[in-house]
Amino acid sequence: MDSLGGNISPPGIDTKLLFTGISGVALFTLALFQLSPRQRHGKGEDQGLLRSLMLFCYSCFLKPHPVEAKATQQDALESFYSSQASIYDSTRKTLLKGREDMLALAAAQLQLKAERAGGRSATKRIWVDFGGGTGWNIETMSKFVNVPKFFSTVYLVDLSPSLCEVARRRFDRLGWTNVKVVCQDARTFQLKGSGADLITMSYSLSMIPDYYSVVDSLIPLLSPRGIIGVIDFYVQSKIDVSFRNYTGGLINRHVNFFSRTFWRAWFDLDRVALEPSRRDYLEYRFGTVLMVSSRNYTLGSIPYYVWLGCHRGGFPEVAHDGGTGCHIDGLGTETPWNAAKGDLDALTGPLSSRAWSKAFEVAAQNISASLPLPSFFYQNHRWRMYYDDQLKKHTQFNDEYIYAFTWEDSRVDGHLLRLGPEDVVLAITSAGDNILAYAMQSPAKIHAVDLNPTQNHLLELKLACFTALPYEDIWRIFGEGKHPQFRSLLVSRLSPHLSSRAFQYWLNNADIFRSRGLYDTGGSRHAIRVFRWISHLFGCRRDVKRLLTAKTLNEQAEIWQSKIRPALASRIVSSLVISSETFLWSALGVPKNQLAMIEQDHANSEAVNGSTPTAKNTRAHAVWHYMVDTLDPVLRETHIATDNPYYHVCLEGSFSTRCHPEYLSKSGHALLSRPGAFDGLRIHTDEIEEIVSRMEPASLTVAVVMDSMDWFDPSCAAATQQITKLNQALKLGGRVLLRSSALTPWYIREFEANGFAAKRVGNRTKGNCIDRVNMYASCWICTKKENTSPQREV
């Protein structure tokens, strides 16, 4: 923990002695276990290590510190650090976790800014490391950038002479002449000329009693487009921050009562303050770019956070892109924006009768209340639109996506839609594969919509990967579903291209790509695992492997018909597993209203065939027939090994170099990794109706709603309301592409009654494929022929 300015009031000796016995022994034991080498190389080395640990424990827990009224902050710091300055780095490696992550995140942001500046900003880049102590941060930064070349000047500012002396020796050894060690109170440090491009504080804010003045002093020091990075201990309850929209997310932020009480008492012994106001004040005074809340599990789950910020007015859409309040609104609503219409004052003025975007509304509220904008506004890209992650409609998904891959045939979509450069598309995100397929056709704009935030996190990850990574890495992450270096790539390469919430989600779930693999996750993993279990139980796992290497359709069909189908399509499996409502929803995403449509179609088919109602006309019977009508044609007409990635990934848990979605081809990478490839893409976390109701009338040309209309209850007016909103948002001639589990879904009548002409463009009659997925009974295009809803005032 490094040192800065401010006055310290020492804790009472009696309190310190009370905790010394337990605290000192516990920390000493843990540190000794973690820091001891696996193999001992000699007696002298062991004695040096033991001496360092004993000195550390003595300085932290036993050594008396000055209590005189005249003692200054520097006196107190020197009393604490002078005896352990030489062993500071070796004893803090285990305690001060996350420092490399903070440096890597900050370096990634600076490198992106340098790329965008085309090298123009490289002539004078300044870094100020407050509380830099021994200079460990600055030397470690060399893992991510060439410090002597990347920065023209680096200032290490610390109030402890002993630590500063260690730092000077470090940089003399390294020969880094651009690093200046300044032994000074942080509140009085100033820069001449331009501000700092990077300011960092590593485990130092918690040691500053007068932290308000120090945080305030950072504002004039930071350059207009600079980045500030902070890592420190903290404790906080989610109740404190749950109502704030500018924190960058609440993942892992809550610390339970016992941990809050214990860690505050523990760190109080060494004058380290963990009260939440320090972190809160940072987030209030700056805009949040990225935020992470984590735990040091090596030492008893000590809570710590990593935070990156910028100036509150430093978001690209307003301050640095000539943007206005109208621009903020136009990003998500297709409203034409014009700088002549106004400036930021538009955000604080009265709202007109038009339906503004939620981003505009929250910006207006925050600016009126003198608060920072939500972290979405400080992104480097415009992809992800603002949403309130604490709403029940978002939290209902429990931070889990249902689909790890999209269950729609993008090739058929491409043939049906034939998107052009004038098209403005709205589509359900799902796993994002379809969104990337549409992007490869280069329409003017794509609005990806999903109520589940994690489905949009998955799409964000794909956009970031195509923006920042070479083809080989993208193939490993999304083709094979595994990448052993995923976490490192996430922090050092992908982080500048992700929103704070998406970054935290993938940091929390980075092990997915190291162990299970992407395609063994999400709700759909249950279907894959059940199939794997059935194939093992019925002894046909080897036949599944043969199926994936079959050279001809005939060979594939024979393996399916004789080996796999008898197991998967057995009535016992259908009754116990496939027809289970829990399985259908959690594994396949089939809601009860869609299931009812499957049952009704089956009953109609039975009646047409002259069958009378029997015990067979049950859910299990209907689902069994639906499954057979889905799978039999697929195995007869599509070659899994080379041309059906949807079933290949289900059977194998990965794609292959011969069989994968088009976006994972090298030509797909060439298209999607071009500069500006996703400039027209917006990601909305909301219902379709919420998004289209706020859009400029007649601004969409295509809406792809997948099978979502099947989810509506026929007895409610929700489907009609959404169709009415779609009519309002679509141009004349605009199209709605949808799929359904029914041959003629009930809501087609609603489309026809509300200005659309409906045409069935795919019909899964018995024995044929509607597409390579073949999961749906019908596919429809509904074309807008007339305006039937009142056009709102603009």
**pLDDT tens by residue, 605-623:** 766 565 555 544 566 677 7
Specify if 269 maps to a domain. Answer: yes
Q: Are 111 and 168 contained in the same domain?
A: yes
Residue of 740, 677, 679 lying closest to 708 (CA atoms): 740
pTM above 0.75, yes or no: yes
Cβ(426)–Cβ(691) under 8 Å?
yes
pLDDT band at 82 (very low <50, low <70, confident <90, very high): low
106 and 74 assigned to the same domain: no
- Tell whether 445 is covered by a domain: no
Number of domains in the chain: 4
- Is 541 a domain residue? yes
Q: Are residues 185 and 223 in the same domain?
A: yes
Q: Is residue 45 a part of any domain in this protein? A: yes
Q: Which of 310, 340, 358 represents a domain boundary (last residue)?
A: 310
pLDDT at position 32 is 41
Proportion of the chain above pLDDT 90, given as a percent: 57
How confident is the model over 93-120, as a mean pLDDT?
88
What is the mean pLDDT of the segment spanning 24-30?
A: 45
Same domain assignment for residues 295 and 159: yes
pLDDT at residue 766 above 50? yes
**583 confidence band (pLDDT: 50, 70, 90):** low
- Mean pLDDT is lowest, of 515-529, 576-590, 626-640, for 576-590
Per-residue pLDDT at 18: 41
SS3 at position 644? coil
Taking residues 544-572, report their average pLDDT. Answer: 87
The answer to whether position 409 is within a domain reads no
Domain annotation covers residue 402: no
Residues 155 and 179 in one domain: yes
Q: What is the pLDDT of residue 582?
A: 55
Give pLDDT, residue 49. 53
What local confidence, expressed as pLDDT, does residue 51 receive?
57
3-state secondary structure of 578: helix
CB atoms within 10 A of CB 481: 22
Q: 537 with 619, same domain?
A: yes
CA 465 – CA 474 distance, rounded (Å): 6
In the predicted structure, residue 47 carries a pLDDT above the cut 50: no
Instruction: Give the per-residue pLDDT at 92.
Output: 67
Poorest-pLDDT segment among 87-96, 158-167, 355-364 = 87-96
Q: What is the mean pLDDT of the chain?
A: 83
More confident residue, 340 or 630: 630
The verdict on 624 and 575 lying in the same domain is yes
Please give the pLDDT value at position 186: 85
pLDDT for the residue numbered 63: 55
Instruction: Please indicate, yes or no, whether residues 537 and 630 belong to a single structural domain of this protein.
Output: yes
pLDDT at residue 66 is higher than 70? no
Question: For residue 502, what are its two tokens?
Answer: 């998406």
The larger pLDDT score, comparing residue 792 to residue 190, is at: 190
Do both 346 and 237 map to the same domain?
no
Tell me: do 231 and 148 sit in the same domain.
Answer: yes
Q: Which residue range is the domain that position 48 belongs to?
A: 13-91
The answer to whether residues 244 and 340 belong to one domain is: no
84 shares its domain with 107: no
Residue 646 lies in a domain: yes
- For 270-306, the pLDDT digits (tens) are 778 998 999 999 999 999 999 999 999 988 899 999 9
Contacts of 297 (CB under 8 A, 6+ apart): none
Q: Tell me if 206 is assigned to some domain.
A: yes
Q: End of a domain among 610, 632, 652?
A: 652
**pLDDT at residue 674 greater than cutoff 60:** yes
pLDDT of residue 601: 81
Helix (H) or strand (E) holding 424: strand 424-428
CA angle 57, 63, 66 (to 5 degrees): 140
pLDDT band per the 50, 70, 90 thresholds, residue 321: very low
* Other Cβ atoms within 10 Å of 70 Cβ, number: 6
Over residues 322-359, the pLDDT tens digits come to 345 666 777 777 776 543 344 445 555 554 445 788 88
Domain boundary among 339, 359, 374: 374
- Encoded tokens for 631: 């799978």
Q: What is the CATH number of the domain that holds 295?
A: 3.40.50.150
120-160 residue pLDDT tens = 555 689 999 999 988 999 999 999 999 999 999 999 999 88
